[in-house]
Amino acid sequence: MPKTPTLQCDGLFKQFGDVRALADVSVRLSRPGIVAIIGPNGAGKTTLLNAFSGFVQADRGVCRLEGLELSGHSVAEVARLGIARTFQEVRVIDRLSAIENVMLARPGQRGESLLLALASLGWRTEERVNHAVAERALESVGLGQESNRLALELSYGQRKLLSLAVVQATEARVLLLDEPIAGIHPERRVSILNLLRRLRDDGKLLVLVEHDMPAVREVADTVILMDEGRVVAEGEPSDILQRRELVEAYLD
């Protein structure tokens, strides 16, 4: 019996006005693994992430997480099923501190129930654990020193790192990362690539949309090349990025 892919979509179509963002996209991705989706601007890469995370409902076609159909589930439900994501425009909660941003992301918090919150009961221990986990997540992206600063005081690169710490803390099995490397300080780059590898080795599936080709070459197990809403090529990075005709046609 063939193994059920972790994340898959079949015949996905999405139209925005006159623009065809997704045209018959089918992919099968299994964990553990790092998959990079590459392609020119407007190829439909982010729309694909949006479709997987429930932000966009496809016109046609289905997305599945471990065989379970995702269409019809709200963004929050998809998240609770085990898909976490970051955003291209880097979204974090500005008026929360870095560590609160990460703690917010922890799943299944009892203190999020109004009654327990009112009574101030039953969540203090859990909060301490979450605090420790969050601190480790911040350290893993090199923000250990910034944990008590408000997110709005952080630089663009730091906010991007913070959002990586946030998705880590969700404990989701699938992480959809929209341009995690671009704009990161060169000194941090290596450690972020290592972090991505470590997350894969923990058994997660990472799907990156990324323009930084050297990074893709270094870290990705699989590359999916998209253009005009279609999957043009799929394969190992050494293979795809070696093929001259593809690189010249789509990536320069």
Partner 1 sequence: MDYLLHVLVLFFLYAILTTSLDLLVGHSGLLSIAHAGLYGIGAYAAAIVSTHFDISFLGSVAIAMLAGVLVSFCISLPSRGLKGDYFAVLTFALQMVLFHLLNGWDRLTGGPLGISGIPAPAVFGAELDTLAETTLLFASCAGVVFALSRNVATSPFGRVLHALREDEGLTQSLGKHTYRVTIQVCAMSGAFAALAGALYSHYITYVDPTGFTVVESILILAMVILGGPGTILGPIIGAISLVSLAEALRFIGIPASEAASLRQIVYGLALIAIVFLRPRGLARA
Structure token digits, residue 217: 């070459």
> By CB under 8 A, how many residues form the interface with partner 1?
37
> 77 or 236: whose CB is closer to partner 1?
77
Q: How far apart are CA 252 and CA 249, in angstroms?
A: 7
Strands (E), the chain: 7-16, 19-29, 33-38, 60-65, 68-69, 83-85, 174-178, 205-209, 222-227, 230-235
Residue 97 is given by DSSP the state B
| Residue 70 in the binding site for partner 1 (CB under 8 A) | no
Query: 104 with 96: CB under 8 angstroms?
Result: yes
Q: Which of residues 216-235 bind partner 1 (CB under 8 A)?
A: none
Candidate list 24, 32, 71, 104; residue touching partner 1; CB under 8 A: 104
Q: Smallest gap, in angstroms, from Cβ of residue 156 to partner 1?
A: 17
* Nearest CA-CA partner of 250 in 86, 50, 45: 45
Which of the residues 109 through 138 are near partner 1 (CB under 8 A)?
109-114, 116-120, 123, 127
CB of 167 to partner 1, least distance (A): 9
In angstroms, how far apart are the furthest CA atoms of the chain?
65
Q: Which is nearer to partner 1, 107 or 203 (CB)?
A: 107
Binding residues (CB under 8 A) for partner 1: these are 53, 55, 74-77, 79-80, 84-85, 87, 91-96, 100, 103-105, 107, 109-114, 116-120, 123, 127, 166, 170
